[in-house]
Structure 1
């Protein structure tokens, strides 16, 4: 039986060597930002450009795989739709929140998102840059929504959550978890997010979400 939260993870199809190449690309993004090239990645990863093109296609393909690899670190614990209870739902939400906070606060994600912002919108099109902004949206935030929404839907079906629209519920949870952390990091704030801090923030966001959308707690009009 397919459990809510179960997904086909593209990272599972990657070999250890390919994962090492993507890690090298992420490190270069931190160091070089907008200057990332296939040549630089090949040199850093000690492989040929021909191998990179074979595995990932063009630069956009490499960037897409890199974003997917980074996003795969945000896990969604699968839940059993038939046996779902509040404890298992809470654990799944807390794990997602904790993983996401760890990913967005990493140097690699901050660098990747800074480059993506510079590649988004009309300026990107005028300069002929690759659409890294769209790549990050599709394989980051939007992909994460697809992973978590089945868990939220399972919670609703089990009578634990009460919401009219899964997208609205997801956006609320996403906002409670992220708060202003990502924008502050992008603007250079040196936030110190320890394991304990992240764990506490994840648990707090989950409890706030359950207070808003818990079947027995939901205020009228939400």
Structure 2
């Protein structure tokens, strides 16, 4: 069947679709590879026909589920014409805080562990889906802001991909790998805010015009 045609975000999903995707996320966390259309339908109290109509097939459902989790990282909308240093700083810090909050949550940790295990096996679909809608998806959201800041004379860089990867490294540091390897203590909101602020400051030091 065809993949879902939904653009997965808080604004485009119905409450019922959000409930279904939350049910799928819960099954991924607790059941790992046991995610099936039947299991999601049962947990979400809906029919398999509805799932197929909305998401196409299991891969479509997996893609929508990962996109729904990734959509919780939001880029602050900015006006390219009036973009200034303060607005840029706020947008990047907010993006960094959201990103760290989502990455260090139980759902993302379990999802990424499962995706890594898939990448080392014959079944690579989940790993590909998480890669495309995780780091690559975050890049697609963030790079337009970085490029707008360059046009406004606020940042200086040649390659937006490289600039984004630098920002990625400054925000995430070793936090994600420590969580994936079993560190139980999740960073506090204050620690996440501090890490995001330092990432933005260091990024401006490297790329500020």
- Determine if the TM-score, normalized by the shorter chain, exceeds 0.5: yes
Among residues 141, 145, 164, which one is paired with 2:158 in the alignment? 164
Contact 1:161 1:214 in 2 (8 A): yes
How many equivalent residue pairs? 203
- Unaligned 5+ residue runs, structure 2? 1-5
Equivalent residue, structure 2, for 1:106: 105
Contact 2:21 2:68 in 1 (8 A): yes
- 1:192-211 matches, within 5 Å, as 192-211=186-205
> Over the residues paired in the alignment, what is the CA RMSD in angstroms?
1.3
Contact 2:118 2:126 in 1 (8 A): yes
Moved over 4 A (4+): none
Q: Deviations over 1:156-184 (max 9, x none)?
A: 11111000100000000000000011111
Contact 2:104 2:186 in 1 (8 A): no
> What is the distance in 2 between the residues matched to 1:67 and 1:80?
29
- 1:9-20 matches, within 5 Å, as 10-11=8-9, 12-20=11-19
TM-score of the aligned structures, taking structure 2 as reference length:
0.93
- Unaligned 5+ residue runs, structure 1? 1-7, 216-222
> What is the distance in 2 between the residues matched to 1:35 and 1:114?
14
Contact 2:66 2:133 in 1 (8 A): yes
Deviation at 1:132, TM superposition (A): 0.8
Question: Any idea what SS the aligned residue of 2:80 has?
Answer: coil
Deviation at 1:26, TM superposition (A): 0.6
- The question of 1:184 aligning with 2:178 is answered yes
Deviation at 1:194, TM superposition (A): 1.2
Question: Any idea what SS the aligned residue of 1:10 has?
Answer: coil
> What is the distance in 1 between the residues matched to 2:171 and 2:124?
30
Contact 1:110 1:186 in 2 (8 A): yes
Contact 1:28 1:41 in 2 (8 A): yes
> What is the distance in 2 between the residues matched to 1:143 and 1:9?
13
> What is the distance in 2 between the residues matched to 1:16 and 1:22?
10
Among residues 118, 131, 139, which one is paired with 2:133 in the alignment? 139
Equivalent residue, structure 1, for 2:3: none
Deviation at 1:130, TM superposition (A): 5.4
> What is the distance in 1 between the residues matched to 2:73 and 2:186?
20
> What is the distance in 2 between the residues matched to 1:17 and 1:176?
37
- The question of 1:152 aligning with 2:115 is answered no
> What is the distance in 1 between the residues matched to 2:60 and 2:186?
33
